[in-house]
Amino acid sequence: MSALHGLKVLDLSRVLAGPLAGQLLADLGAEVTKVERPGEGDDTRRWGPPFLADEDGAATPESAYYLSANRGKASVTIDLTRPEGQALVRRLAAGSDVVIENFKRGGLARYGLDYPALKALNPRLVYCSITGFGQDGPYADRPGYDLLVQGMSGLMSITGEADGEPMKTGVAITDLCTGLYAALAILAALAHREHSGEGQYIDLALLDVATSLLSYQANNYLVGGRVPARMGNAHPSIVPYQVFATADGHLLLAVGNDGQFRAFCEAAACPGLASDERYAGNRGRVAHREELIARLAPVLRGRTTADWLHRLEAAGVPCGPINTVDQVFADPQLRHRGMVLELDHPLAPGLRLLGNPIRLSGTPLACRRAPPRLGADTGRVLAERLGLDEAEIRRLRAEAVI
């Protein structure tokens, strides 16, 4: 049995942060019902190319982006702007443990689907709202996008080359981490409900999450008073900890302590650097960063990446290659860890998707169901959860409520 077996989640969210939270709960065994707009669905279904190809190689309506955050769910189409549609969602919420939504502040109140309305029907409900800037404050009514909050939070000010322009990360890191925080908060609220019997409201903001990702860089400012700056691939507190050019490419060198620095110097045939009082301790290496890097750079350019990996790994020095995405999924460690899932999809059997990194010894993850086609489960869910008969479901379809 999976960890969240029996838990019912109503996912009213779209795009990335909310859907990712729902997918994580589905992976852990929850029954997740995704409510989408009839005929259109989640915006990300159309965010391509690339799109999933069928057995004949033809593109389908399912984008790779949508497939990244919606496995394990049932898809139900309901028009929330229609009173009958709102009534259906209220009935689903009344029988659910969790609701996830990422409408603008107050967006669901006009439909009678906000937390106070649903709490009145189901006091045990855990209701998670995700917005750009939270439910209060001077920015609360602004739309929030990952790129904007990466800039506003300071993340972009510390990402990129020192003499280059501010840079976002290669993935929507704020959305992704908000989804992780949302799943964590939901599990905490469910744990509280176990002994209190009460649900609660969760208010998550992309800007808050992005700011939390500053981590030690934030404390470098709050404690030390120094405004962090872009340093490319270097680390503000550890040296050498960055990318170096080799004879045929690049190498990541991550020296985390003085013993590792001595081991590196021995493997690199430059023991004099380890005994130099300027470089023997990390504090000195940080203080003399530029001159030390200038001395190391020509040494590392003298051998190939493969040669350095062999030498340094044997010496216990943390190092690694910079893999392209195709190399990542050919890596023997990740293949062994099962970070690629193969799931049956009605349009493309053997669909390959990115896996979940969680490993639970007693309750293995339930990543067995491919992301659903739009509305694929509408009739079944309304019949099983709400007791609607075939005639009523046909009528709702004919009237475009579902």
The CATH number linked to 305 is 3.30.1540.10
Phi, psi of 168, rounded to the nearest 5 degrees: -80, 165
Strand order of the β-sheet with 200-205 is 73-77, 31-36, 8-11, 98-101, 126-131, 200-205
Look at residue 72 and tell me if it is in a domain: yes
Mark which of 323, 351, 381 sits at the end of a domain: 323
Please give the Cα distance from 368 to 375 (Å, whole number): 19
- CATH classification at residue 367: 3.40.50.10540
Look at residue 224 and tell me if it is in a domain: no
Q: What percent of the chain has pLDDT over 90?
A: 95
Largest CA distance in the chain: 85
Neighbour tally for 126: CB within 10 Å? 26
Is 90 exceeded by the pLDDT of residue 75? yes
Could you tell me if 203 and 345 lie in one domain? yes
Domains: count for the chain: 2
Please give the Cα distance from 270 to 296 (Å, whole number): 9
36-72 pLDDT, tens per residue? 999 999 999 999 999 998 887 888 889 999 999 999 9
213-224 pLDDT, tens per residue? 999 999 999 999
Round to the nearest angstrom and report the end-to-end CA distance of the chain: 33
Could you tell me if 277 and 374 lie in one domain? no
Could you tell me if 282 and 255 lie in one domain? yes
3-state secondary structure 55-82: CCCCEEEEEHHHHCCCCCEEEEECCCCC
Could you tell me if 304 and 375 lie in one domain? no
Mark which of 300, 323, 346 sits at the end of a domain: 323
Could you tell me if 314 and 352 lie in one domain? no
285-312 pLDDT, tens per residue? 999 999 999 999 999 999 999 999 999 9
Predicted pLDDT at 109: 97
Average pLDDT on 200-209 reads 98
Could you tell me if 246 and 308 lie in one domain? yes
What DSSP character marks residue 270? -
Cα separation values, 157 from 152, 163, 194, 209, 215, Å: 9, 12, 42, 16, 14
Query: 35 and 46 in contact (C-beta within 8 Å)?
Result: no
Cα separation values, 386 from 90, 100, 193, Å: 11, 20, 25
Could you tell me if 126 and 94 lie in one domain? yes
Measured at the CA of 43, the angle between CA 42 and CA 46, to 5 degrees, comes to: 110
pTM (two decimals): 0.94
Could you tell me if 38 and 127 lie in one domain? yes
Could you tell me if 164 and 299 lie in one domain? no
Query: 260 and 318 in contact (C-beta within 8 Å)?
Result: yes
Could you tell me if 308 and 206 lie in one domain? no
Q: β-strand 59-63 against 51-53: which pairing, if any?
A: antiparallel
pLDDT band at 284 (very low <50, low <70, confident <90, very high): very high
Query: 69 and 16 in contact (C-beta within 8 Å)?
Result: yes
Look at residue 1 and tell me if it is in a domain: no
Look at residue 235 and tell me if it is in a domain: no
Query: 59 and 68 in contact (C-beta within 8 Å)?
Result: no
Look at residue 300 and tell me if it is in a domain: yes
78-104 pLDDT, tens per residue? 999 999 999 999 999 999 999 999 999
Q: Which candidate in 175, 203, 248, 389 is catalytic? A: 175
Residue 341: strand pairing partners? 353
Look at residue 63 and tell me if it is in a domain: yes
Average pLDDT on 177-201 reads 98
Look at residue 218 and tell me if it is in a domain: no
Could you tell me if 80 and 196 lie in one domain? yes
Q: Which domain holds residue 282?
A: 241-323
Look at residue 99 and tell me if it is in a domain: yes
How high does pLDDT run on average in the chain? Answer: 96
Active site residue 389: no
What contacts 221, CB < 8 A, 6 or more positions away?
227, 228
Could you tell me if 388 and 245 lie in one domain? no
Mark which of 323, 354, 374 sits at the end of a domain: 323
